[in-house]
Amino acid sequence: MTNAMELYQMLPKTNCKKCGKTSCMAFAVALMARELTPEDCPPLKEESKYRENYEKLKEIFKPSEGATETGLIVHEDLCFGCGNCVVACPPNVANDPYGVGSGNAPRNVNKLVLTIEDGIVKAQNLEECRRFGKNKILCNGCIVTCPVEAIEFV
Amino acid sequence: MEKNYYVCTGCGLLCDDIEVESEKNIINKVYTACRVGVAHMKEVRGEAGFRVDNAPVDEATAIREAASILKNAKNPLIFGLGTSTDEAQKLAIELARKTDATLDDTSSFCLGPLVEALLQDKIKTCTLDDVRNKADVIIFWGADPSDSHPRHLSKHSYFPRGSEKQRGWEEERTAIAIDVRKSHTAKICGNYFFQIPPEGDAEFIDALIAALSGKLPKTSYNYPPKKILELANILKGAKFGVIFAGLGLIYSLKDMEPVFRLMKALNEKANFQLVPMVGHYNMRGFNENLYAETGYVNRVKFENGTVKHGPEYSVVESLKAKTVDAALIIGSDPLSSLPRSVSKNLLEIPVISIDPCETLTSKHSKVYINTAISGVESGGSATRMDGIKVSFKPVVETARLSDEATLKKIMEAL
Amino acid sequence: MDFGSFLAAPEIKIRIVTYRDIFQDKAMIENRFGEEYRDRSAIIKLDAADLKQLNVKKGDTVILSNSFGRIVVKAEESGYDTPHRGLAYMPNSPWSNMLVSDETGGTGVPKFKDISVTVTSAKGEKVTEFKP
């Protein structure tokens, strides 16, 4: 959807360091990574000339409906339950190699990130997702295997 | 923990790992099945019913009327059966023999020629389990399993780990799509999508055969030779290659000869099998059952104990030439699925429709018998698209007759 | 200059390739006489340039006709990255089957995936219905 450069364009670009980062670009990157929120930039929040951009940024980073701890969103209207993502998801394979990892029904759902319910992919156990937490990896196993772009990270 | 799995009869994959939550014969939740499978299992049912001339009747009247139509016909057509169990199919063959009927199924205008070639050992084939365990090069040719067999890539052909494929799809498998449009499956194949013009398949096959033996591949539509040579190189390196052949390939060929030639050329350089992308859950079963009984996979005419076979006994040609004078349609809707220019002739003869749901054909039938959904409300056995036998039990109970029970009753009434 | 706008209704010849669509299949299982099945079946996916030549916008209805039948369906833009003027795509359905030739050369196999038709704007006419 968006990248750090686009976010940077909406910031004050004064490099005032009030947010604790060394530059506005660094702040943009932190925003992108969801380490900081638009509220963490005092000038943006307080000065009226930035209000429009502040509102826009808040809109982008509001905890969106359906978005999960990793930013994973399933577009349920697009998904048709082929299960490609379920079978390709690395933690799914590691946690259930003979079930979903081998293309079959889950043998152990406890640690599965993705499963299919009523023909639509369902995300859970997000602490297992490679995009979770501080040491996250920008894994895209579920995205590149989806024929209809039903999974997105925001 | 032992789980209770059901088989999904939504398509030729016959997925055997479906979990279901149901209460009072209503299915509330379905796990692991795709959207089509879920729709199939949760299909909303109206009242069971029997109709003659569009008026509700009791079972006995409907069966009697159906038997009388078949008895009075000189050459009834029995058609459909792709979504019937082996047991029902065998009864239909027996019924066709008894009534001197023309018998055909949808494979007649789908993948029949390829299934026939497999049964006659003209082409090397394998199971979907072989594909999961061993396949390194997978070609979807004129086929889009993402739409027709949604779990094909995840359960069998591309993404799963197999006994000899432990490192995952990115490293160990190459999926290739050859098609006239960028289908959902072609999209997943990324750079290995080869887009050809409609009816361009035979030429592409020849160009590929040339490339396999190091010659310059030429096509009248100027397909970049470099790309065909690259493809040939991938195929030459296949330790276990599979071609999944779909209707896009079949419909663009006059006969199967180019496919035979390609398979021969591929197997001189590498190891290739072919599996037809059979759509209906037991279409292959019909082909195998009829083959065991008559030596033909479809398009037969029974006459005084003998069997005739040929395109003139296909559903399309016999309707077109009006050689059939009644029709028993089982689990099929030819008024929707055949060209109207052909199926309109069904409107001129008495039709018996045996189907779990109302269709254009059932609405125009003289006799309609609303049956149980095979695989959801009634059990039996079937043959998966790759030839594996699968048995299944019903998921819920119903008062409706199965098509097997219906055919048995019609037979008794004859 | 856009000559199309001077003609009563521009007409073009199109070759239709049919295909299967999973959501359309799902809709058929749920209700083959329902709106969703109609909306997902009675459509034709055209090249943007063909739409322009027909003077038809996305979502407008068009008439597809040949000697076997005449149907009204919704026009859509295919969205494929490679241009395909003169070629269009339709999900396989009772609608597409209205236009399939009975000519088989005696093979028993109709050309379900290769249909030649003339396309023209339906000028607001409603999509063909298959009512039982």
- Nearest beta carbon to residue A103 from set B19, B156, B184: B156
Q: What SS3 class is residue C63?
A: strand
| B182: chain C residues, CB-CB within 8 Å | 80-82
pLDDT digits (tens, 9 = 90+) for B226-277: 999 999 999 999 999 999 999 999 999 999 999 999 999 999 999 999 999 9
SS3 content of chain B, % helix, strand, coil (to 5): 40, 20, 40
| B19: chain A residues, CB-CB within 8 Å | 105
| B128: chain A residues, CB-CB within 8 Å | none
**Percent share of chain A, pLDDT over 70:** 94
* Across B5-27, average pLDDT: 95
Contact C97 B195 (CB under 8 A): no
Q: Where would I find the beta strands (DSSP E) of B132-255?
A: 137-141, 174-179, 193-195, 241-245
pLDDT digits (tens, 9 = 90+) for B113-166: 999 999 999 999 999 999 999 999 999 999 999 999 999 999 999 999 999 999
As a whole number of angstroms, the distance between CA B12 and CA A100 comes to 20
What pLDDT is stored for residue C7 in this prediction?
Answer: 55
Q: Which CATH architecture has domain A72-153?
A: 2-Layer Sandwich (3.30)
B 175-214 residues with CB < 8 A to C: 180-184, 195, 198-199
Checking if the pLDDT of A64 tops 60, the result is: no
**Percent share of chain B, pLDDT over 90:** 96
Checking if the pLDDT of C69 tops 60, the result is: yes
pLDDT digits (tens, 9 = 90+) for B165-186: 999 899 999 999 999 999 999 9
* Residues in chain B, total: 414
Checking if the pLDDT of C4 tops 70, the result is: no
Q: Nearest chain C Cα to A77, which residue?
A: C23
CATH code for position C73 = 2.40.40.20
- Nearest beta carbon to residue B159 from set A81, A87, A120: A87
List chain A domain ranges. 4-61, 72-153
At the top level of CATH, the class of A4-61 is: mainly alpha
- pLDDT interval class at B45 (50, 70, 90): confident
Select from B305, B347, B312, B331 the least CA-distant residue to B79. Answer: B331
- pLDDT interval class at B1 (50, 70, 90): very low
Is-contact A146 A84, C-beta < 8 A? yes
* Across B268-292, average pLDDT: 98
What pLDDT is stored for residue B15 in this prediction?
Answer: 98
- pLDDT interval class at A63 (50, 70, 90): low
Provide the CATH topology of domain B46-109+281-375+400-413.
Rossmann fold (3.40.50)
- Residue C13 near chain A (CB below 8 Å): no
As a whole number of angstroms, the distance between CA C56 and CA C11 comes to 11
* Radius of gyration of chain A, Cα coordinates, nearest whole angstrom: 19
Contact C108 B150 (CB under 8 A): no
Within a domain: residue C127? no
Checking if the pLDDT of A151 tops 90, the result is: yes
| Number of Cβ within a 10 Å radius of residue A22 | 10
As a whole number of angstroms, the distance between CA B379 and CA B402 comes to 9
Neighbours of chain B (3+ CB pairs under 8 A): A, C
**For residue B369, what are the β-bridge partners?**
B50, B354
* Across A126-145, average pLDDT: 89
| B146: chain A residues, CB-CB within 8 Å | 82, 147
Select from B270, B287, B346 the least CA-distant residue to B115. Answer: B287
Q: Nearest chain B Cα to C32, which residue?
A: B359
Which of these ranges, A49-63, B30-44, C87-101, has the smallest mean pLDDT?
A49-63
CATH number of B112-276: 3.40.228.10
Is-contact B339 C112, C-beta < 8 A? yes
| C93: chain B residues, CB-CB within 8 Å | 336
SS3 content of chain C, % helix, strand, coil (to 5): 25, 30, 45
Scan for tokens 């039938």, then name that residue.
Answer: B365
pLDDT digits (tens, 9 = 90+) for C6-24: 556 799 999 999 999 999 9
Contact A81 B35 (CB under 8 A): yes
What pLDDT is stored for residue B81 in this prediction?
Answer: 98
Q: Report the sign of the C-alpha dihedral through residues B144, B146, B147, B152, in that order.
A: positive
C 13-72 residues with CB < 8 A to B: 15, 17, 19-23, 25-26, 29-33, 68-69
As a whole number of angstroms, the distance between CA B275 and CA B280 comes to 15
pLDDT greater at residue C3 or residue B43: B43
* Across B196-219, average pLDDT: 97
Within a domain: residue C131? no
pTM of the model: 0.89
Contact B32 A93 (CB under 8 A): no
What pLDDT is stored for residue A60 in this prediction?
Answer: 75
Q: Nearest chain C Cα to B180, which residue?
A: C17
Checking if the pLDDT of B309 tops 90, the result is: yes
- Nearest beta carbon to residue A82 from set B29, B146, B162: B146
- pLDDT interval class at A109 (50, 70, 90): confident
* Across C20-32, average pLDDT: 95
| B31: chain A residues, CB-CB within 8 Å | 105-106, 115-117
- Residue C22 near chain A (CB below 8 Å): yes
Q: How many domains does chain C have?
A: 1
Checking if the pLDDT of C120 tops 90, the result is: yes
List chain B domain ranges. 46-109+281-375+400-413, 112-276
Q: Which residues of B383-394 are buried (b: 16+ CB within 10 A; e: fewer)?
A: bbbbbeebebeb
Checking if the pLDDT of A1 tops 80, the result is: no
- Residue A147 near chain C (CB below 8 Å): no
* Across A16-41, average pLDDT: 87
| Token duo for residue C119 | 């396309």
Find which of A77, A78, A80 to mutate to test the C interface (most C CBs within 10 Å of its CB).
Answer: A80
Find which of B30, B38, B154 to mutate to test the A interface (most A CBs within 10 Å of its CB).
Answer: B154
